[in-house]
A and B are shown apart, each in its own frame.
Chain A
Amino acid sequence: MSAVAPSAVVGSRLRWTVLDAITVTKRNLLAYVRIPEALFFSTVQPVMFVLLFRYVFGGAIHAPGVSYVNYLIPGIFAQTVAFGAISTSIGLAEDLHKGLIERFRALPMARSAVLAGRTTADLCRNVLVVAIITGVGYAVGFRVETGPLQFLAGAGILLLFAYALSWGFAVIGLSAPNSETAQVMSFPVLLPLTFASSAFVPPSSMPSWLQGFATHQPLSVVVNAARGLMVGRLPHALPTGTYAWEAVAWCLGIVVVLVPLAVRRYRRAG
């Protein structure tokens, strides 16, 4: 080691931690650009969900105090970004089994960079997906009834949630024996999270044993916050501000717990 002040060493380490994450993010985004089909079809499914719930199930669902399409679209946002987190687990499982992670681990790069690069690239993709769903939502009658800033705050909470969730799916991806299994392993987490929630129907319509979970689980809190911020008038029990702080707390809590867990798995996976 040369005689460098400790603070300079720490500074340079921090700088490379960020630069390494950017390098890996770029690599993952390039893959999205090179396979536009994958990106296209990953937006088809949420669009189908919008149409399905708006026109097939929507008529039978009653959300008090709000038009169903305005109730639905914030829920679709949450469901879409949650399902999108599967791509984090598939992407990492693929890198692991193609031997790329083995190479990355033998490089002098930051231990967190592969994961941070994956989750950040998936966050960028989610921004695009949210924009597309907003457009589709407007086409089927969704209207922001608050203001552009509140809408963006709602979208911000949804994206933060998606980012936090990505770290959970990173753990799944690094634990799966292959990418197909990573996908299958993701569903038992995702389905209750997205459907036993306030995303599509008010939890008050569910049996009482399910209501507790459906009302308080993080995706419901996030959806309620986003819905309050985007469309205002709501069948929710608590003020939007409370949901918003609770949602942010959930996201930070998930990140604080799952980031070290994912990095630990990354060091040992394979």
Chain B
Amino acid sequence: MAHAIRVENLVKTFKGGVTALDGVSFDVEEGTIYGLLGPNGAGKTTVVRILTTTLEPDSGHGYVLGLDVASHATAVRPLFGLAGQFAAVDENLTGRENLTMVGRLNHLPFSIVTARSTELLEQFQLADAGDRTLKTYSGGMRRRLDVAASLVARPKVLFLDEPTTGLDPQSRIDLWSVIEGLVEAGTTVLLTTQYLEEADRLAERVAVVDHGKVISEGTPTELKANLGATVLEVGLHDEATAHLAASALAPVGIHPPSVFGSLVEVPVDGGPRTAMEALRILDQAGIEPVSFTLREPSLDDVFLALTGRQTAEDPAGEPTTTPTGRRAGRAK
């Protein structure tokens, strides 16, 4: 079987007429990590919920290891593991008790569950904390335990719904290595994320999702090729100067610059050399920048390149952020 997961034209509209999915299709090859990249409210979690049998689509089909998830829910459930957006673990239980519970509910015998729990606690660096209740765990530890719990039954397919959202950078990097280790062992992973950096690091292929539609699909390299390797960000005194700077800087960019208030962003291909050229241009034009930064492209930049607009804010009104939060709440 070449495809561990197939998604065909999924449509889901919630009560109140909110269209969560508007015809989503993609395939995930066995033994690879596939990234669903998009802002809050794009429909990523809805795809995961349908594939993990907790939500029925209005139309379309999802297949896990060749089985239709809607008509074969009972047969599909033993085949996958799920770690959700919120660490779905019981905080009154110890780490070991949580793993044992999930193992038993996966219908594994006690002897296997006991050995497997010890093994997972060690693998996830929770051996010392295994017999403490989760109330004493940090956010990163809870999330690791959540992922560990999804692996108790050694599933062939793993769904990770924003596994690193809200984690500090070190915990995020730790979790990334764990996920990479799983795929080396042959697991297929469907990963949803808001972070381009994460999709780039982990996924072999990525679908960019927006408003319930796949707006771009390919390898992270292909995605970034549309985008430029870096973004030059120049802050000016005011908006008028920003527009002047934008037209002056247009020749160094691989895409037209964008202006956000007094900030100019230019997708560029080179590194310091381009920066030097940009500074020379600004100097010649008599424009003095307030700030001048070269940075990695973010999800916002992908969206800007693909749709010509910023990521949609989620319905709860939470601003879309990148891992370091550097783009939080930027002016529209």
Residues of A within 8 A of B (CB): 16, 19-20, 23-24, 26-27, 30-31, 34-35, 98-100, 102-109, 113, 270
Contact = CB atoms under 8 A, between A and B. Distances in A.
A27 B52 CA distance: 23
A108 B92 CA distance: 23
A24 B106 CA distance: 12
Interface of B: 49, 52-54, 74, 77-78, 80, 82, 84-90, 92-93, 97, 101-102, 104-107, 133, 149
Contacts of A35: 92
Contacts of A30: 92-93, 97
Contact of B86 (A31, A34, A98, A113): A98
Given A31-B92, A34-B92, A98-B88, A106 B52 contact: yes
A113 B86 CA distance: 22
Given A30-B93, A99-B88, A106 B53 contact: yes
20 contacts: A19-B104, A20-B104, A23-B101, A27-B90, A27-B93, A27-B97, A30-B92, A34-B133, A98-B88, A100-B90, A102-B84, A102-B88, A103-B102, A103-B149, A104-B105, A106-B53, A106-B77, A106-B82, A108-B74, A109-B105
B105 A105 contact: no
Contacts of A31: 90, 92-93
Nearest to B74: A108
Nearest to A106: B52
B88 A107 contact: no
A23 B53 CA distance: 22
A160 B106 CA distance: 30
Given A23-B104, A105-B53, A100 B77 contact: no
Given A24-B105, A98-B88, A113-B105, 5 more contacts: A23-B104, A31-B90, A106-B52, A108-B77, A108-B105
Nearest to A1: B75
Contacts of B105: 20, 23-24, 104, 107-109, 113
B82 A108 contact: no
A26 B90 CA distance: 12
A106 B97 CA distance: 19
Residue in A27, A103, A270 with the greatest tally of chain B CB atoms within 10 Å:
A103
Contact of B107 (A26, A27, A34, A108): A108
Nearest to B79: A108
Contacts of B104: 19-20, 23
Nearest to A12: B107
A98 B104 CA distance: 21
A104 B54 CA distance: 9
A10 B87 CA distance: 34
Contacts of A102: 49, 54, 84, 88
A31 B97 CA distance: 11
A107 B84 contact: no
Contacts of B90: 27, 31, 100
Given A27-B93, A27-B101, A30-B93, A108 B106 contact: yes
